[in-house]
Amino acid sequence: MSGFLQKPTVKIFIQAATATALGYLAYYFIKSRESHRGIFRKHPRSHRKFKLIKRIVLSPDTRLFRFEIPENEELGISVGKHVKAHAVVAGKEISRNYTPISTVNERGFFDLVIKVYFPNDEFPSGGLMSQQMDSLNIGDEMEFSAPYGTIEFHSDLNQFKVSGGRTLSGLKNIGLLAVGTGITPMWQLIQEMIKNESNTTTITLLYGNRYEHDILLRDRLEKLAKSNPTRFKVFFTLSKPDFTWDKENGRIGKEMIAKYFPAKSIDACFLCGTLRMMDDAKTHLTSIGHNPSNVFKY
């Protein structure tokens, strides 16, 4: 009789232990997922300090800064959103928006590429924020808040959400137009779209700068275009090229825009750069047949 009772008892005990173990696993899995949702998803627009852990000189006036995210968390911003850097310079509070070039689901750090605007005859004070960041040493902290911006992209849905609550889905061909540091949100978008193999959207990027050494992320852009020739094409133009330059030259104007962004083959265009550049580009795009409601400014 005791043997008859023992087997069901052992079976029940094993079932209970298994259920308990599975419960603990589920709990820790959920907690783990929650802990990696990202700092600024859990605390939007909060001000947080991040430690500088790497600094790379990319050119005489361009730097890559890597900031540590505590506890191996994600930053917690969507593709297309910016972080805002905060500092006090000469007793004055200043801030500036930057778009990380690291992927949004990167854990433990985020990367910013910054062009340092040194004082010159045209701009005697230079860029206060960029010079402040350039003065940072490894181990120093910088204050940031996030997220900011009017455009975000959701890779799993192949969907853009823009200001006003509008949603764009199923775009077959998009045009990206950037100048200078305006490449950073474009790079974040491009790498997110390309890495999703189910996304078949084709991307055309026209990127303008003054000098060849000003071209940010050039190696990465060219490498990605070479490995994804049917998905991504990049074209460079310089307003002040030297005699060795064999690509487009001149400022981005109506003729160049018509060449690379014909209205019949581009569903939507995204712009990032100076306000004047974006205003002029939107005017040119509209004049060649693009619907102005499908032209978006970062």
Does 151-297 carry CATH code 3.40.50.80?
yes
From 62, 260, 269, 272, the catalytic residue:
272
Q: Among residues 98, 207, 260, 298, which one is catalytic?
A: 98
Confidence of residue 30 (pLDDT cuts 50, 70, 90): very low
Selection from 8-12, 37-41, 206-210 with the highest mean pLDDT: 206-210
Q: What is the CATH number of domain 40-148?
A: 2.40.30.10
3-state helix/strand/coil string of the chain: CHHHHHHHHHHHHHHHHHHHHHHHHHHHHHHHHHHCCCHHHHCCCCCEEEEEEEEEEEECCEEEEEEECHHHCECCCCECCEEEEEEEECCEEEEEEECCCCCCCCECEEEEEEECCCCCCCCCCCCHHHHHHHCCCCCCEEEEEEEECCEEEEHHHCEEEECCCEEEECCCEEEEEEEHHHHHHHHHHHHHHHHCCCCCCEEEEEEEECCHHHCCCHHHHHHHHHHCCCCEEEEEEECCCCCCCCCEECCCCHHHHHHHCCCCCCCEEEEECCHHHHHHHHHHHHHCCCCHHHEEEC
Q: What does the pLDDT look like over 109-162, one tens digit per residue?
A: 999 999 999 999 989 999 999 999 999 999 999 999 999 999 999 998 999 999
> pLDDT at position 94, please?
98
Sequence ranges of the domains in the chain: 40-148, 151-297
Tell whether 142 is in a known binding site: no
Q: Is 118 annotated as a binding residue?
A: yes
148 in catalytic set = no
57 marked as binding residue: no
Active-site residue 43, yes or no?
A: no
272 catalytic, yes or no? yes
The whole model's pTM is what? 0.85
184 is annotated as contributing to ligand binding: yes
33 is in an annotated binding site: no
pLDDT digits (tens, 9 = 90+) for 61-118: 999 999 999 999 999 999 999 999 999 999 999 999 999 999 999 999 999 999 999 9
**Catalytic: which of 62, 82, 204, 290?**
82
